[in-house]
A and B are shown apart, each in its own frame.
Chain A
């Protein structure tokens, strides 16, 4: 690592240390503390230190103050022997965990704000360029940016997730910990007794339920040969059955109001005159879904024979599933970021969010917890315009700027700035 970078990270680390020294015991304390595995990623190293066990929060805090790590993790699982190698830990159960990351949502803004740059000449490259076109160097840094749209989209997925957990799974919000990831998303950890012993396969089923994968619409009576009316999805039905009815109605409403995104998506498969007719069906659907009116065989734009009903329902599934990262949910040994610690990719706090304040929270204001002072001069390689702590900054492109400590830390953590000498 070159010296400027090292010095910059050491500056951030100092801010982290001050924060942990001043914060007292605000760190989140998972239940069965002594049975958890902890781990952390030090600054200046690429190897995680894990298989740690602490008897209480004070012991952990001591380490955080001493090491001021870049990232702090704890196991979702509880173990008989948290410090043993994985096979010998003695798995006793694990919280049911969910990770929502804007990066997985394939948002159009990603292309606009993510970028790469060349480590030797600082040329800015597109996200998919892996060789510098200026100096042919292959040493590239990839920068993933986050914007307001990213965070809003992630929050929408979070809200959908919570409606699954509460409505379908009947889980009590009091037994959930919801946190901002400190970067681009949200985490939910459910610690209800009943779910702790669920094995990997069971968690896979839960993840598939929430993402509607392998959902067979025939199981809900929707095929070309419709089941009798009383058995078909209705708005009042629980689970996916009701959700399918409600979100199909939503699709019809969107078509009716001329929503371009929906119409364009449908245009990929359905002929245009069909789509217009669909918008008109909204009224017939107001009391009760009228599935037979959608059940129409037609030819897609590519000439393939398709069923209009299944096209609509699969779009309905897409808008109502929650796009969790299924790998995280099914991993019963997963380490996840310890809530209320600092995220070394941003310097923001991975803070706990109250269930009833999710919609009001502005993570980029609320969780900017590092101090503004001292102001420091940084060389910024590149940064789209961004908003932090209620103020706008940038855009910057290969320039030296003087910034408050927390903003400078943000850019250094994002690996797009270093301290100016």
Chain B
């Protein structure tokens, strides 16, 4: 029996309804929205709307669909959720929804009967994510081609995921099951986002207008809170000189080293900037790749990887990288840029 055997796939789908959902992603272009306007469908519509709302407002802490076996309702309402996200026409919403969904799927994988996990992961990697992957013997149950591996591993900052710390055998990287799961989760996130984008514009039918409106409000609320947080942050004039200089160079399109980027991002996160705001700052550059930058920033913020938030590098470290300004003379002997306290007028704050 091969894995592309339709019979096998059918069985897998029946046993794991979330695979069915994933297939709905693929098929969701063809859904007939009018079906949801019929009387008696209100519950499904409400289900679909609240799913999106939760994802937008709560992010990965959203609590929908965490049961191992999604209800019939959940499966049926799923394509509508996707259509709703598309109707919002907002890249922030798309991304957020994708992140939440990927997270949810990977939690579901953990609930599968252990005897089947290997087959399901293999199926998803191969048939859904189109990876070049082979099954192998424990402890390395999977072998994936290095090009597929690198596409997702570069976003992980644990040293053990670095290629140089992996075995490489004729182009394939052997992976243990939990490692494969991590790669799949990252891949799913990208995949879902791409799928959502590729749906393109869907005009909002009248019966859904109030619902879309409600989602827009949720989105606005979310954004407003983020900017509100930003306003209370340290104003630009009160940043330490090294950070001001880094920002300046970034905006001028001048070269900023990897360390420089890291330092500035870590500083901004530590003074309370949100990922989105930092991205906007970086987006001014020509060589900007949003996806990569996002992952990097989220890493620094501790939303990914080991979950540890990076602190801003110390002045000493910044000095050794040659990014300190006037050998710290403007900063009064502080040890870390976060300790810098100065008002625009030049008077000590504290």
Contacts and interface: CB of A to CB of B under 8 A. Distances in A.
B251 interface: no
A369 interface: no
B145 A209 contact: no
Q: Could you say which interface size class chain B belongs to?
A: 20 to 34
B289 interface: yes
A239 B151 contact: no
| Interface core residue of A86, A199, A239 (most chain B CB under 10 Å) | A239
Given A87-B286, A199-B289, A201-B292, A213 B164 contact: yes
Nearest to A194: B147
A167 B167 CA distance: 12
Contact of B292 (A167, A198, A199, A205): A199
B219 interface: no
Given A194-B147, A202-B151, A208 B162 contact: yes
A398 B165 CA distance: 54
Contacts of A205: 150, 153-154, 162-164
Given A202-B150, A205-B153, A238 B167 contact: yes
A150 to B, nearest CB: 28
Contacts of B150: 198, 201-202, 205-206
Chain A interface main SS type = helix
A216 B147 contact: no
A194 B145 contact: yes
A214 B171 contact: no
B159 interface: yes
Given A202-B150, A205-B150, A238 B162 contact: no
A170 B154 contact: no
Contacts of A197: 147
A239 B172 CA distance: 10
Contacts of B168: 168-169, 209, 238-240
A168 B38 CA distance: 59
B337 to A, nearest CB: 26
A219 B289 contact: no
B23 interface: no
Contacts of A209: 163-164, 168
Contacts of B151: 198-199, 202
Contacts of B154: 199, 201-202, 204-205
Nearest to B162: A214
Given A195-B147, A198-B150, A212 B164 contact: yes
A352 B132 CA distance: 32
A215 interface: yes
Interface string B269-286: 000000000000000001
Interface string B113-157: 000000000000000000010000000000001110011011000
Contacts of B171: 168-171
Contacts of A204: 154
Given A202-B154, A205-B154, A216-B159, A240 B172 contact: no
Contacts of B348: none
A198 B286 CA distance: 19
Residues of B contacting A: mostly:
mixed
Contacts of B164: 205, 208-209, 212-215, 240
B209 interface: no
Contact of A219 (B132, B160, B286): B160
A209 B169 CA distance: 13
B170 interface: yes
A9 B191 CA distance: 56
B166 interface: yes
Contacts of A224: none
Nearest to A333: B287
Interface in A202-261: 202, 204-206, 208-209, 212-216, 219-220, 237-241
B305 to A, nearest CB: 14
Of B147, B166, B287, most buried by chain A (CB within 10 Å of CB) is B147
Contact of B170 (A167, A214, A215, A219): A167
Nearest to A241: B167
Contacts of A238: 167-170
A327 B230 CA distance: 37
Contacts of B169: 168, 170, 238-239
Contacts of A194: 132, 145, 147
A197 to B, nearest CB: 8
A86 B286 CA distance: 9
Contact of B159 (A168, A201, A219): A219
A240 B164 CA distance: 8
Contacts of A171: 171
Contacts of B166: 219, 239
A198 B147 contact: yes
Nearest to B287: A87
A215 B167 contact: no
Nearest to A87: B286
A216 B165 contact: yes
Given A199-B154, A208-B164, 6 more contacts: A87-B287, A205-B154, A209-B163, A238-B168, A238-B169, A240-B164
Closest 6 CB pairs of A and B: A170-B171, A238-B169, A219-B165, A170-B170, A202-B150, A201-B154
18 contacts: A167-B170, A169-B168, A170-B146, A170-B170, A170-B171, A170-B172, A198-B147, A199-B292, A202-B154, A206-B163, A208-B162, A209-B164, A215-B164, A219-B159, A219-B160, A238-B167, A239-B168, A241-B167
